[in-house]
């Protein structure tokens, strides 16, 4: 079936504006993760969803960042009052609770540029 | 805590050369170890994994062995091809810990293979 999809693929925004990033996980995958990849750095964990609850939000860098998930489906990551240091590629991944539960399937990412 | 350190790049090789990318880890529990690959313009893909000590993961001619005594998971390939040019990420997850399967990534190693 279809893989993880993310939209938009690219987003350029002015400092201070709010942005919303979307992730559609693989159908049936109950676990969903958001990561951030800043230029020249590894991936930083942001938040984990199991179903529509978020048992681990420890990676969210500030209260400007929030995320929601509808059931076991779409998730949105919202960044309020964007800053230039928010510029990065935001990656979403999903995994199945059973079987290879720790194999995460990644989307293509959203490249966010804050000017 | 959990962390991953991998060899800094970039790595540049001629076709058919031998490849090693070093990866070491620190973990509080009994982690699973992964190598992910990101080809130009594409999303992260799982390359191989190992879930317990002495396991060897392999795929597409790449291999890595989970060495608990040296806390390492080095990636190797006997004869690289131009098509192997990509960024390689070492990662770990601690499925029995409190981190609920989130991945901890190294910074990535850029590999370029010349014909």
pLDDT tens, residue by residue, A53-104: 888 888 999 999 999 998 779 999 999 999 999 999 999 999 886 444 568 8
CA–CA separation, B100 vs B15, rounded Å? 40
The total number of residues written for chain B in this structure: 115
Q: Which residues contact A9 (CB under 8 A, 6 or more apart)?
A: A108, A109, A110, A111
Chain B positions in Cβ-Cβ contact with residue A90 (cut-off 8 Å) = none
Looking at residue A99, its pLDDT comes to 43
Asked if A48 lies within 8 A of B100 by C-beta distance, the reply is: yes
Q: Give the mean pLDDT of chain A.
A: 90
Partner residues linked to A12 by β-bridges? A113
* pLDDT confidence tier of residue B93, bands split at 50, 70 and 90: confident
Q: Which residues contact A13 (CB under 8 A, 6 or more apart)?
A: A19, A82, A112, A113, A114, A115
Looking at residue A109, its pLDDT comes to 94
For B48-59, the pLDDT digits (tens) are 999 889 999 999
CA–CA separation, A110 vs A6, rounded Å? 7
Chain B positions in Cβ-Cβ contact with residue A67 (cut-off 8 Å) = none
CA–CA separation, A30 vs A98, rounded Å? 9
Chain A positions in Cβ-Cβ contact with residue B91 (cut-off 8 Å) = 43
Asked if A55 lies within 8 A of B106 by C-beta distance, the reply is: no
Separation in Å, CA B9 to CA A59, A79, B13, B99, B111: 26, 31, 12, 29, 7
Interface test with B, best of A37, A99, A104 (most B CBs within 10 A): A104
Asked if A104 lies within 8 A of B103 by C-beta distance, the reply is: yes
| Nearest of A109, A6, A19 to residue A66 by alpha carbon | A19
């Amino acid at each position: 079936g279809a893989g993880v999809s993310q939209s938009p693929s690219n987003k350029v925004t002015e400092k201070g504006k709010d942005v919303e990033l979307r992730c559609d996980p693989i159908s049936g995958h109950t676990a969903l993760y958001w990561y951030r990849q800043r230029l020249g750095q590894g991936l930083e964990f942001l938040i984990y969803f199991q179903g529509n609850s978020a048992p681990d939000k420890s990676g969210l860098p500030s209260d400007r960042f929030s995320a929601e998930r509808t059931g076991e489906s779409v998730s949105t990551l919202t960044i309020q009052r964007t800053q230039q240091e928010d510029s990065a590629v935001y990656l979403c991944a999903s995994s199945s609770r059973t079987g290879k539960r720790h194999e995460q399937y990644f989307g293509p990412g959203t490249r966010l540029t804050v000017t | 805590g959990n962390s991953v350190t991998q060899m800094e790049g970039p790595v540049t090789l001629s076709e058919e050369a031998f490849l090693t990318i070093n990866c070491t880890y620190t973990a509080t529990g009994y982690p699973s170890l992964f190598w992910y690959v990101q080809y130009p313009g594409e999303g992260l893909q799982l390359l191989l994994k190992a879930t317990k000590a002495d396991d060897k993961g392999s795929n597409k001619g790449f291999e890595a062995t989970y060495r608990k005594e040296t806390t390492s998971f080095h990636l190797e390939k006997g004869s690289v091809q131009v098509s192997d040019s990509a960024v390689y990420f070492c990662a770990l997850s601690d499925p029995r810990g409190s981190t609920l399967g989130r991945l901890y990534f190294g910074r990535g190693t850029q590999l370029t293979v010349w014909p």
